[in-house]
Structure 1
Amino acid sequence: MKKIFVLDTNVLLNNPRAIFSFEENEVIIPLAVLEEIDNLKTQGSDLGYNARETSRLLEELRNQGNLDKGVKLENGGVLKIVINGELRLPKGLSSSKMDNRIISTAIDIMEKNSDRKVIMVSDDINLRLICDAYGLRAEEHSSSRLNEEQIYTGFRELSLNSKLIDKLFSEDKLSIEELNAEEKESFYPNEFLQLRSGDKHKNTALTRFDGENLVPLKYNDKQPAKIRARNREQQLAMELLLDDQIKLATISGKAGTGKTLLAIAAGLSKVVDESIYKKLLVVRPVMPMGKDIGYLPGDKEEKMAPWMQPIFDNLEFIVHRNKDNKYAYEKLLNSKLIQIEALTYIRGRSVPEQYIIIDEAQNLSLHEVKTIVTRAGENTKLVFTGDPYQIDNPYLNFHKNGLNYLAHKFHDQKISGHIMLKQGERSELAEIASKLL
């Protein structure tokens, strides 16, 4: 028996082509969803873009038939738009709220199709909870949801014979063909491996898979802007940040692990000391991308100040560490070599020859990270940092956010790399608090 899927607005705003992801089942869009999409289509944000794209797709389908009666989709399913003129809201739900009107439509469809399974599809947790309370099955849109096995950490441990580790040190590489059959695994480009010998010699080595061989780390002694790695994962992050062959680096980790500080330090070094890039651009979502800052008082800089303060804090820390070169870094902050922007303003731009850091990337949707990555011009490096355990976007979670999704999709590309930081380095108090509270 074919199922009936009722779509919430946020599903289409995250991915307009979601209507084609339900196989041969029936897909229903309530009238209230169309009203919400119509209200958003004039926005200049990604939400506005997706609203317009949804309208275009629906118009193409409308030209193929009557959406009220149902139009065949390319995957064999059927799409309908349902106008529920008679609201059948459960007691306690206000009809003035658009979410409740969408739930009402789904409940009406469920009661009229008792022989079929009706499922409300929404990325809104609260809406799904309300549906459960009224006996209506609700699910998150799962086409882009990552399971635990798909969360890429960028690091693994491997047990090896001590002689092979000695060979790595003597030849500066170790072919994976030399590993035993049980040790051969599918390694990803720029994945890091901690090699350990199980014998009495207890040799260890930190390596990176370069696509063909396991090789030692290259930047062990580097301290960009006098910032040094303080633990193993930070050292691995430095490898990604300082390697000019890696054009996309994703760094995740909880608060206080040093993600932003390491990225800014590496960016400053590449722009000022090595002149590899013409500019360091640090961008941050004011809120989840697409929200405006117009409601805040003051000019653009004053509006952005509360959201950009963590970036300035890290820059001030780096300037303090570089007292002998303090004038150069202060001059840098006042020059056009470094630019700090709200993420909203990067849309529509092409940015060549820049070192770009996207902070708080866990709050970005899948479409938003695509928008940002496609802005990259020739000789531009993108660094995404964020904490996937601390997400402010109500429609995203650990298993479904732009940062983890980007790391997963690019994990087999030679021009990208990822590492998940684990150990907090902000202070002893901050580290204890993150564990206890």
Structure 2
Amino acid sequence: MSKIYVLDTNVLLQDPYSIFSFEENEVVIPAVVLEEVDSKKRYMDEIGRNARQVSRLIDNLRQTGKLHEKIPLENGGVLRIELNHRSFHQLQEIFVEKTNDNRILAVAKNLSLEEETKEDGRKVVLVSKDALVRVKADAIGLHSEDFLSDRVIENDHIYTGNLEVYINVDLLNRFYEKGELPLSEISNHPFYPNQFLIMKDALGSSASAIGMVDPREKKVKKLIFDHDHIWGIRPRNVQQTMAMELLLRKDLPLVTLIGKAGTGKTLLALAAGLMQTEDFREYKKLLVARPIVPVGKDIGYLPGEKEEKLRPWMQPIYDNLEYLFNVKKPGELDAILAGMGSIEVEALTYIRGRSIPEQFIIIDEAQNLTKHEIKTILTRVGEKSKIVLMGDPEQIDHPYLDAYNNGLTYVVEKFKDQSIAGHVKLFKGERSGLAQLAADIL
């Protein structure tokens, strides 16, 4: 039996095409939702863009029929703008204030009560990204769901980029000698391109080796940059060794790194970018950028020129650069960067419309980017450029994103089958014992 899905405003603002995600069911948009969408369309950010896109989609559907009646959708379902069922009588003793959330709940509840009086009454489900709205719905006996169609993964099954395999010690010895092994001799398990394999002795000895999957030759091969160091930075654990391999490989124009705070993502990426830009001259410029998303309450507008405004947002990048350059005095880093001229620290606000060839690009805190924003960034990458996306999907400050639907997770999952991309998830914190403990238990 078909269902009636009542959509909250945040579902449309998260994914304008969500109205097509409910198969052969009826999708209902309360009139108050249109009012909320209209109030957001003037925003010059992702929410404003989505609000305008929703407006265009509904306007196009208007050409096929009357919105207050049932308009057929491409997926077999129907869409209706709900103008009636706005009575607050059922909820006035429970929720006194007529807020927009409560008005949406009232519409869904009234529809549900109407369907219960019918012999073939359908189930009414309120769909919302707001946990408290779902809690309220449950409290008044209304079915509610989170909108999950925008999720790239379910639960905590994000691709890690590496896999432990147990093999015969003879195979390990042959890998030491030849530096490669056919994947067919290791396992029938399907492997991803450029996936790291931690090969261990099946009999339990301490013998082990790290290799990387070569998708073209269908072999696992020894790391090219194993036991190397970049700008005085040496990998402290096996995942950092893998990250260094990805960062220094010329045949991998896209690298994604995820991990908790203090796992070394930013420091390793900056060191690799500096070495390939300044020492080897493989790239013309090192471009470092991060999204402007505050943690907690925003402090508002900042005085000064563009560089002065960006400095507080980019300070984590400058902290790592000061460590790499061994800066001792205030202002010394600015003088170094001005003298080099090949390092650009930028906000992602200004990236649209650019073409970025022959540059080593680092995008920090990429978990705060939406799918649309991440696509915009990747389509800016020009010939002979390398881009590194990194962040922690568990530390998201964007109001409409979570660990399962953010842009960084989206890229990791969509590119894991591509031979031009490499990925690794870092687990162990190396900043300090305190930082690691805080990341684990807080």
Same fold (TM over 0.5): yes
- Residue 176, structure 1, aligned to residue 183, structure 2: yes
Question: What is aligned with 1:382?
Answer: 387
Rate the CA distance shift 1:135–1:342 in 2: closer, same or farther, 3 A: farther
Contact 2:322/2:333 (8 A) holds in 1? no
- Residue 395, structure 1, aligned to residue 400, structure 2: yes
Amino acid at match of 1:318: L
Contact 2:367/2:409 (8 A) holds in 1? yes
Rate the CA distance shift 1:143–1:309 in 2: closer, same or farther, 3 A: same
Question: What is aligned with 1:110?
Answer: 112
- Which range moved further: 116-125 or 405-414? 116-125
Which residues of 2 match residues 234-253 of structure 1 at below 5 A?
A: 234-253=240-259
Which residues of 2 match residues 133-212 of structure 1 at below 5 A?
A: 133-145=139-151, 146-148=153-155, 150-179=157-186, 183-199=187-203, 202-211=206-215, 212=218
> What are the superposed Cα offsets for residues 186-240 of structure 1, whole Å, 9 maximum, x if unpaired?
1001111100112376421101101121011111233222211111111111111
Rate the CA distance shift 1:53–1:200 in 2: closer, same or farther, 3 A: closer
- In the alignment, the residues of structure 2 paired with residue 94 and residue 208 of structure 1 have an alpha-carbon distance, to the nearest angstrom, of 61
Amino acid at match of 1:314: N
Describe the SS at the equivalent of 1:245: coil
- Deviation of 1:316 after TM superposition, in Å, equals 0.7
- Which range moved further: 234-243 or 77-86? 77-86
Describe the SS at the equivalent of 2:355: coil
Amino acid at match of 1:193: L
Rate the CA distance shift 1:100–1:356 in 2: closer, same or farther, 3 A: farther
Rate the CA distance shift 1:352–1:136 in 2: closer, same or farther, 3 A: farther
Describe the SS at the equivalent of 2:64: coil
Aligned with residue 418 of structure 2, among 405, 413, 416: 413
Computed over aligned residues only, the root mean square deviation of the Cα atoms, in angstroms, reads 2.7
Contact 1:162/1:202 (8 A) holds in 2? no
- In the alignment, the residues of structure 2 paired with residue 121 and residue 165 of structure 1 have an alpha-carbon distance, to the nearest angstrom, of 53
- In the alignment, the residues of structure 2 paired with residue 381 and residue 40 of structure 1 have an alpha-carbon distance, to the nearest angstrom, of 36
- In the alignment, the residues of structure 1 paired with residue 271 and residue 243 of structure 2 have an alpha-carbon distance, to the nearest angstrom, of 12
Rate the CA distance shift 1:264–1:409 in 2: closer, same or farther, 3 A: same
- Deviation of 1:129 after TM superposition, in Å, equals 2.5
- In the alignment, the residues of structure 1 paired with residue 114 and residue 339 of structure 2 have an alpha-carbon distance, to the nearest angstrom, of 66
Rate the CA distance shift 1:127–1:376 in 2: closer, same or farther, 3 A: farther
Contact 2:199/2:208 (8 A) holds in 1? yes
- Deviation of 1:17 after TM superposition, in Å, equals 1.4
Rate the CA distance shift 1:116–1:299 in 2: closer, same or farther, 3 A: farther
- Which range moved further: 143-152 or 273-282? 143-152
Question: What is aligned with 2:235?
Answer: 229
Rate the CA distance shift 1:194–1:200 in 2: closer, same or farther, 3 A: closer
Describe the SS at the equivalent of 2:394: coil
Aligned with residue 264 of structure 1, among 267, 270, 274: 270
Which residues of 2 match residues 55-66 of structure 1 at below 5 A?
A: 55-66=55-66
Describe the SS at the equivalent of 1:280: strand
Rate the CA distance shift 1:330–1:232 in 2: closer, same or farther, 3 A: farther
Describe the SS at the equivalent of 1:54: helix
- In the alignment, the residues of structure 2 paired with residue 163 and residue 244 of structure 1 have an alpha-carbon distance, to the nearest angstrom, of 32
> What are the superposed Cα offsets for residues 381-401 of structure 1, whole Å, 9 maximum, x if unpaired?
221111112222232222232
Question: What is aligned with 2:309?
Answer: 303
Amino acid at match of 1:362: Q
Describe the SS at the equivalent of 1:141: coil
Describe the SS at the equivalent of 1:131: helix
- Deviation of 1:272 after TM superposition, in Å, equals 1.3
- In the alignment, the residues of structure 1 paired with residue 397 and residue 354 of structure 2 have an alpha-carbon distance, to the nearest angstrom, of 26
Rate the CA distance shift 1:332–1:242 in 2: closer, same or farther, 3 A: same
- In the alignment, the residues of structure 2 paired with residue 38 and residue 322 of structure 1 have an alpha-carbon distance, to the nearest angstrom, of 52
What are the ranges of 5 or more consecutive residues in structure 2 without an aligned counterpart? none
Question: What is aligned with 2:81?
Answer: 81
Contact 1:144/1:400 (8 A) holds in 2? yes
Contact 1:231/1:423 (8 A) holds in 2? yes
Equivalent pairs, count? 431
Rate the CA distance shift 1:42–1:349 in 2: closer, same or farther, 3 A: farther
- Which range moved further: 255-264 or 12-21? 12-21
What are the ranges of 5 or more consecutive residues in structure 1 without an aligned counterpart? none
Question: What is aligned with 1:433?
Answer: 438
- Which range moved further: 293-302 or 170-179? 293-302
Rate the CA distance shift 1:422–1:93 in 2: closer, same or farther, 3 A: same
- In the alignment, the residues of structure 2 paired with residue 80 and residue 273 of structure 1 have an alpha-carbon distance, to the nearest angstrom, of 62
Rate the CA distance shift 1:327–1:138 in 2: closer, same or farther, 3 A: same
